[in-house]
Chain A
Amino acid sequence: MVEFLRFRDDVPHEEPAVTLDAFLGQTNATAVRLESDEDARKLLPQLGQLALIEIAFPKFRDGRGYSAARILREAGYEGELRAAGDVLVDQIPLMRRCGFDSFVPEAAIDPAALERALGRYDDVYQKAADGRSPVWALRHG
């Protein structure tokens, strides 16, 4: 069972994440944690200095973090984007599509089930933050 998943090749960031309020009030933090009700767009002016953004999932039903992740990727953020909290194996493929590339699930995840889930669909219907070509693009390639 796995407690930390990372889909990046660079060295994991060591600095602990600060709250959004703390981040906005100081100039040199490089890691921040967004709660699910916080506006990801507040980070946009200072995206360049961030190496890690952690987005909280207090409950798996709370899907605001999916939009937050895409907004950050759409704005050009290339650092680590971490989903932390009530993250379930069947959600990770969707989260990967929204731009998350690391995961700290509350309950450890079965790597075999995750591998099956991530390899399930060869193709997708819509563009998202993962660069995959949707089937409409493949059809008219």
Chain B
Amino acid sequence: MYKYDQYDQAIVDARVEEFRDQVQRRLAGEISEDQFKPLRLMNGLYLQLHAYMLRVAIPYGTLDSRQMRMLAHIARKYDKDYGHFTTRQNLQYNWIKLEDAADILADLASVEMHAIQTSGNCIRNISSDQFAGAAADEVTDPRPWAELLRQWSTFHPEFSYLPRKFKIAVIAAEEDRAAVKLHDIGLQIHRNDAGELGFRVFVGGGMGRTPMVAPVIREFLPTADFVSYMEACLRVYNRYGRRDNIYKARIKILVHEIGAEEYARQVEEEWAHVKTLGLDPPAGEFERIAAHFAPPAFEGGLSDDLDRTDPDFALWLDQNVKAHKQPGYAIVNISLKPVSGIPGDASSAQIDLMADLAERYSFDELRVTHAQNIVLPHVKKADLYTIWQQLEANGLATPNLDLISDIIACPGLDYCSLANARSIPVAQKIADRFAGLDRQRDLGELKLKISGCINACGHHHAGHIGILGVDRKGTENYQLLLGGSGAEDASLGRITGPGFDEDGVVDAIERTVEKYRELRTEGERFLDTYRRVGMDPFKEAIYG
């Protein structure tokens, strides 16, 4: 894991004092709320329906037990004893007082954390593959590149007032666990024919009210040119992205309007100039960062055998534990989606427990996933049963990874000032309806995603089944979408037809999955069946 040196620490410490100064000027009335807003937003502080919300950055979703415990401590001391893990691998607190914000940032800085650029029209927290360093299918660990981007983008003087927010994700595997094609820039590290590592660059993906799957603008970008090329991509956007309409200001609209080829041409032209400026750090800097991500000291010669006699343990193994590249080790997924729970929420006690398990059993590492779950990336198979027992005792062993109740949901109208409808109660009703594990397992991989408004924080466009909450003449109404995917086969869901009330949409989902059971062929996932047969049979099942 990356550790701050004196430069990183000094910058984060200075940020705390800068924000303290800004808050004091606001509380003293020296600056208006309008002027304060972009300052607090650039530090992850939103004014929500009931209180301030603070979003803490978890760069590329990686953290250690000390950092995890600090998240629990802050939840206990300044919030209501829980936190909410988000689709961008961050953590949000929902009940923060403005007067406490600088003290919280100081606590975070003491464990090499911050809330820098977790909102605002700037380059946001860089996200990545939650299985980085553990997955068998990666060509390299993508996180050193993500850390390089974190440093490059932090307080970038030219790109702090972009037309709109800017999200970048980096992966290094064929399987896309980070939804790179639905990011402003998605980067996939791969090897060329000469065996060298480089980036496939996707630009202009996104969700929101105009969802787009990103086109490739460059098939192979040599790693040595990484930073200068990113600089060129951002400069073209900063100069030509639309600023006349907030809903058309994301880079996807620019790329769509001028075309991917023309955007790529402009980037190449800008890059021809920019790369002469010496913006790319030397290889030694990348190597310095990469050394922090060296594989942990795995034990060799461990057995892959497991005692599966406890049937509940075996269920959890089959659903939540994934293959590790190192023999004798496994990747543990901790579901934050218990039946009747709030997707992504964890109590301080649960956060502490997960920190303890990571420290004892996973080389002191945890990951946050964009599906709002937690990962222990490097666990000995021999320890799995003990870990499962402790998770089970703390409500963290729900064996539902990638099943219909592993729902992504935004905070919705229960918290969010932008929302049109509640998301959490719908997620809970769906999870209740499909609570039977046999039924869920029979339905297989089914990614269900719920957003409480058109901004799509709950990724509804990318759900195999998506739900969009809207406001229809003052009542909450839910539209149903089918056929989206945020993975390597990225696609956007289509709306089935007229919307439903809260119970109606749960019924419609039940009719949808029953239709799937009727139509599926052997081994076919819901998404595959939908792609094979199209919308019509489902429409008929839903609306009769």
- Does B30 lie within 8 Å of A61, measured CB to CB? no
Which among B155, B157, B285 is the interface contact of A136 at CB below 8 angstroms? B285
**CB-CB under 8 A for A70 and B7, given A88-B35, A116-B21:** no
B273's closest neighbor in chain A, by CB? A74
**CB-CB under 8 A for A60 and B38, given A120-B18, A123-B11:** yes
Residue B161 at the chain A interface, CB threshold 8 Å: yes
**CB-CB under 8 A for A122 and B160, given A110-B30, A117-B18, A127-B278:** no
B160's closest neighbor in chain A, by CB? A94
Interface string of B82-109 (1 = CB under 8 A from A): 0000000000000000000000000000
- Does A135 lie within 8 Å of B151, measured CB to CB? yes
Contacting residues of chain A (110-127) with chain B, CB-CB under 8 angstroms: 110, 113, 116-117, 120-127
Tell me whether chain A's interface is mostly helix, strand or loop, or mixed. Answer: helix
Among B197-205, B235-243, B482-490, B495-503, the stretch in contact with A: B235-243
Residue A20 at the chain B interface, CB threshold 8 Å: no
Contacting residues of chain B (147-204) with chain A, CB-CB under 8 angstroms: 151-152, 154-163
- Does B281 lie within 8 Å of A136, measured CB to CB? yes
Contacting residues of chain A (40-77) with chain B, CB-CB under 8 angstroms: 60-64, 66-68, 70, 74
Which among B11, B35, B227, B279 is the interface contact of A121 at CB below 8 angstroms? B11
Cα-based distance from A139 to B279 in the complex (angstroms): 15
Q: How large is the interface on A (under 10, 10 to 19, 20 to 34, 35 or more residues)?
A: 35 or more
Cα-based distance from A62 to B17 in the complex (angstroms): 26
- Does A62 lie within 8 Å of B151, measured CB to CB? no
- Does B238 lie within 8 Å of A127, measured CB to CB? no
Which among A117, A123, A139 is the interface contact of B10 at CB below 8 angstroms? A123
Cα-based distance from A137 to B7 in the complex (angstroms): 12
Contacting residues of chain A (82-141) with chain B, CB-CB under 8 angstroms: 88, 90-91, 93-95, 97-98, 110, 113, 116-117, 120-128, 134-140
Contact partners of A113 in chain B: CB under 8 A: 21, 25, 30
- Does A74 lie within 8 Å of B277, measured CB to CB? yes
- Does B157 lie within 8 Å of A66, measured CB to CB? yes
Interface string of B108-119 (1 = CB under 8 A from A): 000000000000
Contact partners of B519 in chain A: CB under 8 A: none
Which among A60, A67, A91, A137 is the interface contact of B238 at CB below 8 angstroms? A67
- Does A120 lie within 8 Å of B17, measured CB to CB? yes
- Does B158 lie within 8 Å of A98, measured CB to CB? yes
**CB-CB under 8 A for A139 and B30, given A60-B161, A121-B11, A125-B152:** no
Contact partners of A116 in chain B: CB under 8 A: 21
Cα-based distance from A74 to B21 in the complex (angstroms): 33
- Does A67 lie within 8 Å of B239, measured CB to CB? yes
Closest Cβ–Cβ distance, residue B126 to chain A (whole Å):
13
**CB-CB under 8 A for A67 and B18, given A60-B38, A123-B7, A128-B158:** no
Cα-based distance from A66 to B121 in the complex (angstroms): 14
Q: How large is the interface on B (under 10, 10 to 19, 20 to 34, 35 or more residues)?
A: 35 or more
- Does B14 lie within 8 Å of A63, measured CB to CB? no
Cα-based distance from A61 to B324 in the complex (angstroms): 46
Cα-based distance from A41 to B410 in the complex (angstroms): 43
- Does A140 lie within 8 Å of B282, measured CB to CB? yes
Closest Cβ–Cβ distance, residue A1 to chain B (whole Å):
11
Cα-based distance from A121 to B30 in the complex (angstroms): 22
Contact partners of B151 in chain A: CB under 8 A: 125-126, 135-136
Contact partners of A137 in chain B: CB under 8 A: 281
A37's closest neighbor in chain B, by CB? B243
- Does B38 lie within 8 Å of A66, measured CB to CB? no
Closest Cβ–Cβ distance, residue A33 to chain B (whole Å):
18
Cα-based distance from A67 to B239 in the complex (angstroms): 7
Cα-based distance from A136 to B35 in the complex (angstroms): 33
Residue B257 at the chain A interface, CB threshold 8 Å: no
Closest Cβ–Cβ distance, residue B146 to chain A (whole Å):
14
Residue B443 at the chain A interface, CB threshold 8 Å: no
Residue B22 at the chain A interface, CB threshold 8 Å: yes
Cα-based distance from A122 to B9 in the complex (angstroms): 11
**CB-CB under 8 A for A66 and B30, given A126-B279, A139-B7, A139-B285:** no
- Does B279 lie within 8 Å of A127, measured CB to CB? yes
B284's closest neighbor in chain A, by CB? A140
Cα-based distance from A95 to B158 in the complex (angstroms): 8
Contacting residues of chain B (1-48) with chain A, CB-CB under 8 angstroms: 5, 7-8, 10-11, 14, 17-18, 21-22, 25, 30-31, 35, 38-39
Cα-based distance from A88 to B42 in the complex (angstroms): 15
Interface string of B258-280 (1 = CB under 8 A from A): 00000000000000010001110
Contacting residues of chain B (352-404) with chain A, CB-CB under 8 angstroms: none
Which among B31, B158, B281 is the interface contact of A66 at CB below 8 angstroms? B158
Cα-based distance from A136 to B149 in the complex (angstroms): 12
The 6 closest A-B pairs by CB, nearest first: A63-B161, A97-B157, A136-B281, A135-B7, A94-B157, A136-B285
Interface residues, chain B, CB within 8 Å of chain A? Answer: 5, 7-8, 10-11, 14, 17-18, 21-22, 25, 30-31, 35, 38-39, 121, 151-152, 154-163, 227, 235, 238-239, 243, 273, 277-279, 281-282, 284-285, 288
Could you show 29 A-B contacts with beta carbons less than 8 Å apart? Answer: A60-B161, A61-B38, A61-B161, A62-B161, A63-B159, A63-B162, A66-B158, A67-B235, A74-B273, A90-B39, A95-B157, A116-B21, A120-B14, A120-B18, A121-B14, A121-B155, A122-B10, A124-B157, A125-B155, A126-B156, A127-B277, A127-B279, A134-B281, A135-B7, A135-B151, A139-B5, A139-B288, A140-B282, A140-B284
